[in-house]
């Protein structure tokens, strides 16, 4: 018999109840802060975006962010929310100033939801508006008004201040990672020349926009100085380096679109067209774009993103009834590149030399590629290296596709434990044999000649770029000893050297597994460091206490391992510092400058010894 369905079955939720019941609709995934697209970072972004929009409209040149423990405070010096609408603007859906196109022409958020979502998902939310010598303040908890203050006089400068603390009931064991926050703040600075961002006392600003962004990401080995071109509502910058693949930083109205979209695709197309037009040669697009590092920023009216988290642009026009976005970007990019190269013959020569080198390497690889592909297909057919899962990232219609992951591990015992404990729907396992090759300084030919690397790139399906990537998370799972750390470093070098986009798009992670098991007859606690071990030991008491130190992943039974790769899995994302050159970083850690590294290690060991004494 069918379930009862009548008027009593229809429910109406308050705005904050709906956001709390379905937070993924508003901020994407939840997470604990280990991934840069976790919800706690989206909450910060939604508040800062409003402050940036004020700056773009010519109001206020400074934004101050303070992050302490689990709380965030953002103060801007814009116009301030009109005092009579302070409560409505943070607690009524579809209420805000961004529906007035004259007030916010090219804003990041236009749906009036962002700040309300932060309010609903915070255990404490406080908003204050300073406007023309008066102040209005209100406090909320989980979207409900707790206390409203009357208007009062103030000597504070105009602007808005918002304090919030994410609700621990929704965001479990979360923490803000400084590296992720710093990258976001730098991006805001690069995209808003004249704005000063201040976070926890440190100041961030940029005078040259995308030129500064790329200049911090490249080193002296680039083929030519960064080309920086600006037009109305569009800015691009690019150069050719020596790392394989394509590196792009793309932005729309100040929003970092980490998954690209219409504008990034048009930029890539415009690069090829501009160089082809200038040299009057039909270069292979892959030869033109290989080893490129580029950035594009556009400002358009009413941008359409593919999700609330705004990581991929779906717009096709620059504005309602405006020109096509693709043709605008392609024409600007191609035309400006052609003009620039006519004025800079030395850059012209460097580009054509880089393209010629890319072509030679591509043809050289072609000779061994077919055989390598056949080997990979045969290995996968016999399931020698890969224990695959059933759902993949490319299965876009399956809601589980964004949860897919592959564990890269070393040794039969470790891979066996993970294989038995995994969720076969979304978790795959790739087993390495021994330590990988140090690939720093190698050409891409080594990827096809080395069996481990060749099979790994085919398992991930990244031979031709990230579009076919089969897993959202690529997780390095090695022992927490010297050998395990070395394997981690070698794998990270492989990805950074040949597939840097995998790291740039935040797909690469390190699995954190417990070092200790502390238990008595009643309770078992798994600890990830000595401090957790000592606290667990003190809590459980000394009587009948058993402490086990895991030497390797193979020592952890499948029944135990299931706890560490499930909902409470601890991952550390692999990120490159926002002000670090990839080439310089790889040279330091994986190059032949052993004396330099040795001096660094000795110096720091001495410093630690002095501190201990």
Distances, alpha carbon 247 to alpha carbons 28, 289, 478, in Å = 25, 9, 28
Q: Is the dihedral of CA 470, 473, 478, 484 positive or negative?
A: positive
Q: Are strands 570-573 and 524-527 parallel, antiparallel or unpaired?
A: unpaired
The per-residue pLDDT for range 539-578, each reduced to its tens digit, is: 888 788 999 998 777 778 888 888 888 877 888 888 877 6
> Over pLDDT 90: what percentage of the chain?
40
Between 427 and 521, where is the model more confident? 427
Predicted confidence at residue 378, as pLDDT, reads 72
The per-residue pLDDT for range 298-317, each reduced to its tens digit, is: 988 888 877 656 678 887 88
Is the pLDDT at 602 greater than 70, yes or no?
A: no
How many other C-beta atoms can be found within 10 angstroms of the C-beta atom of residue 149? Answer: 13
pLDDT class of 6 with cuts at 50, 70, 90 = low
CA 434 to chain centre: 30
Q: What is the mean pLDDT of residues 499-505?
A: 86
- Residue of 13, 48, 16, 42 whose CA lies nearest to 29: 42
pLDDT class of 596 with cuts at 50, 70, 90 = low
Distances, alpha carbon 469 to alpha carbons 35, 185, 401, 463, in Å = 18, 29, 11, 9
Residue 226, CA atoms < 13 Å, CB-side half-sphere: 23
User: Quick check: 393 and 259 in contact, CB under 8 A?
Assistant: no
Distances, alpha carbon 382 to alpha carbons 376, 377, 387, 437, in Å = 10, 9, 10, 24
The per-residue pLDDT for range 215-239, each reduced to its tens digit, is: 988 877 788 999 999 999 899 999 9
Predicted confidence at residue 24, as pLDDT, reads 78
Residues 6+ apart with CB under 8 A from 85: 95
Predicted confidence at residue 310, as pLDDT, reads 67
Predicted confidence at residue 608, as pLDDT, reads 44
C-alpha 307/C-alpha 68 separation (Å) is 29
Q: Is the dihedral of CA 348, 352, 357, 361 positive or negative?
A: positive
Distances, alpha carbon 453 to alpha carbons 123, 395, 411, 510, in Å = 47, 25, 16, 18
Predicted confidence at residue 611, as pLDDT, reads 43
Predicted confidence at residue 333, as pLDDT, reads 96
Predicted confidence at residue 556, as pLDDT, reads 81
Q: What is the mean pLDDT of residues 361-368?
A: 84
Task: Judge if pTM exceeds 0.85.
Answer: no
CA dihedral 181, 184, 190, 193 (to 10 degrees): -80
Q: What is the mean pLDDT of residues 324-330?
A: 93
Predicted confidence at residue 287, as pLDDT, reads 94
User: Quick check: 353 and 389 in contact, CB under 8 A?
Assistant: no
Is the pLDDT at 605 greater than 60, yes or no?
A: no
Is the pLDDT at 486 greater than 50, yes or no?
A: yes
C-alpha 87/C-alpha 311 separation (Å) is 29
- Residue of 182, 180, 212 whose CA lies nearest to 197: 182
Locate 67 and state its tokens.
Answer: 């992050």
Three-class SS of residue 506?
Answer: coil
DSSP H or E segment with residue 477: strand 473-477
How many other C-beta atoms can be found within 10 angstroms of the C-beta atom of residue 449? Answer: 16
DSSP letter, residue 435:
P
Three-class SS of residue 120?
Answer: helix
Q: Could you give all domains of the chain from N- to C-terminal order, each with its CATH number?
A: 16-204 (3.30.565.10), 210-360 (3.30.230.10), 383-513+559-580 (3.40.50.670), 516-549 (no CATH)
Residue 327, CA atoms < 13 Å, CB-side half-sphere: 4
Mean of the per-residue pLDDT values of the chain = 85
Predicted confidence at residue 563, as pLDDT, reads 84
The per-residue pLDDT for range 424-452, each reduced to its tens digit, is: 999 999 998 888 888 888 888 888 888 88
Between 342 and 11, where is the model more confident? 342
pLDDT class of 158 with cuts at 50, 70, 90 = very high
Q: Which residue do the tokens 């001495």 mark? A: 606
- Residue of 576, 515, 504, 506 whose CA lies nearest to 547: 515
SS (H, E, C) 541-563: CCCCCEEEECCCHHHCCHHHHHH
Predicted confidence at residue 103, as pLDDT, reads 43
- Residue of 25, 3, 2, 5 whose CA lies nearest to 13: 25
Locate 515 and state its tokens.
Answer: 């070092």
SS (H, E, C) 42-54: HHHHHHHHHHHHH
C-alpha 313/C-alpha 256 separation (Å) is 10
Is the pLDDT at 422 greater than 80, yes or no?
A: yes
Three-class SS of residue 208?
Answer: coil
The per-residue pLDDT for range 41-76, each reduced to its tens digit, is: 989 998 998 898 889 888 889 999 999 878 999 999
Is the pLDDT at 607 greater than 60, yes or no?
A: no
Locate 558 and state its tokens.
Answer: 């499948």
Q: What is the mean pLDDT of residues 263-275?
A: 95
Distances, alpha carbon 146 to alpha carbons 27, 127, 141, 149, in Å = 24, 12, 6, 10
Predicted confidence at residue 25, as pLDDT, reads 79
């Amino acid at each position: 018999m069918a379930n009862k369905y009548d008027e009593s079955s229809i429910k109406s939720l308050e705005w904050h109840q709906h956001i709390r019941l379905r937070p993924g609709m508003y901020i994407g995934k939840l997470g604990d802060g280990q991934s840069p697209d976790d919800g706690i970072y989206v909450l910060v972004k939604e508040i800062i975006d409003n402050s940036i929009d004020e700056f773009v409209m010519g109001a206020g040149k400074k934004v101050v962010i303070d992050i302490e423990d689990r709380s965030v405070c953002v103060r801007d010096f814009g116009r301030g929310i009109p005092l009579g609408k302070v409560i409505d603007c943070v607690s009524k859906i579809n209420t805000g100033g961004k529906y007035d196109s004259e007030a916010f022409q090219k804003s990041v958020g236009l749906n009036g939801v962002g700040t309300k979502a932060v309010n609903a998902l915070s255990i404490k939310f406080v908003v204050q508006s300073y406007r023309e010598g008066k102040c209005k303040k209100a406090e909320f908890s989980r979207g409900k008004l707790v206390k409203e203050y009357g208007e009062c006089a103030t000597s504070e400068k105009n602007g808005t201040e918002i304090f919030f603390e994410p609700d621990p009931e929704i965001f479990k064991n979360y923490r803000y990672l400084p590296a992720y926050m710093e990258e976001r703040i730098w991006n805001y600075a690069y995209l808003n020349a004249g704005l000063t961002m201040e976070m926890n006392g440190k100041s961030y600003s940029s005078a040259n926009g995308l030129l500064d962004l790329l200049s911090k990401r490249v080193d002296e080995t680039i083929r030519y100085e960064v080309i920086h071109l600006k037009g109305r509502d569009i800015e691009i910058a690019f150069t050719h380096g020596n790392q394989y693949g394509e590196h792009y930083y793309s932005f729309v109205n100040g929003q970092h679109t980490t998954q690209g979209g219409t504008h990034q695709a048009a930029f890539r197309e415009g690069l090829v067209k501009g160089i082809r037009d200038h040299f009057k040669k039909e270069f292979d697009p892959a030869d033109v774009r290989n080893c490129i590092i580029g950035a594009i920023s556009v400002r358009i009216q009413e941008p359409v993103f593919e999700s609330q988290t705004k990581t991929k642009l779906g717009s096709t026009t620059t504005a309602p009834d405006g020109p096509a976005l693709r043709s605008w970007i392609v024409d600007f990019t191609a035309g400006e590149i052609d003009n620039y190269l006519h004025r800079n013959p030395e850059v012209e020569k460097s580009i054509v030399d880089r393209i010629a080198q890319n072509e030679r390497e591509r043809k050289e690889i072609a000779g061994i590629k077919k055989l390598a592909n056949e080997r990979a297909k045969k290995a996968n057919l016999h399931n020698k290296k890969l224990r695959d899962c059933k759902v993949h990232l490319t299965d876009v219609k399956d809601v589980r596709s964004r949860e897919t992951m592959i564990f890269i591990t070393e040794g039969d015992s470790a891979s066996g434990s993970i294989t038995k404990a995994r969720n076969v729907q979304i978790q795959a396992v790739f087993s390495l044999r021994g330590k990988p090759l140090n690939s720093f300084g190698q050409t891409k030919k080594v990827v096809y000649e080395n069996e481990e690397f060749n099979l790994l790139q085919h398992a991930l399906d990244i031979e031709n770029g990230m579009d076919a990537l089969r897993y959202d998370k690529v997780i390095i799972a090695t022992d927490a000893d010297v050998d395990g750390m070395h394997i981690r470093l070698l794998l990270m070098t492989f990805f950074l050297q040949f597939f840097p986009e995998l790291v740039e798009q935040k797909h690469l992670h390190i699995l954190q597994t417990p070092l200790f098991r502390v238990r008595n007859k009643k309770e078992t606690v798994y600890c990830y460091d000595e401090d957790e071990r000592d606290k667990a030991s003190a809590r459980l008491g000394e009587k009948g206490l058993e402490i086990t130190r895991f030497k390797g992943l193979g020592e952890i039974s499948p029944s135990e391992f299931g706890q560490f790769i499930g909902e409470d899995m601890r991952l550390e994302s692999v990120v490159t510092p926002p002000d670090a050159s990839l080439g310089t970083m790889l040279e330091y850690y994986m190059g032949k400058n052993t004396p330099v590294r040795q001096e660094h290690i000795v110096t720091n060991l001495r410093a630690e010894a002095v501190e201990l004494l």
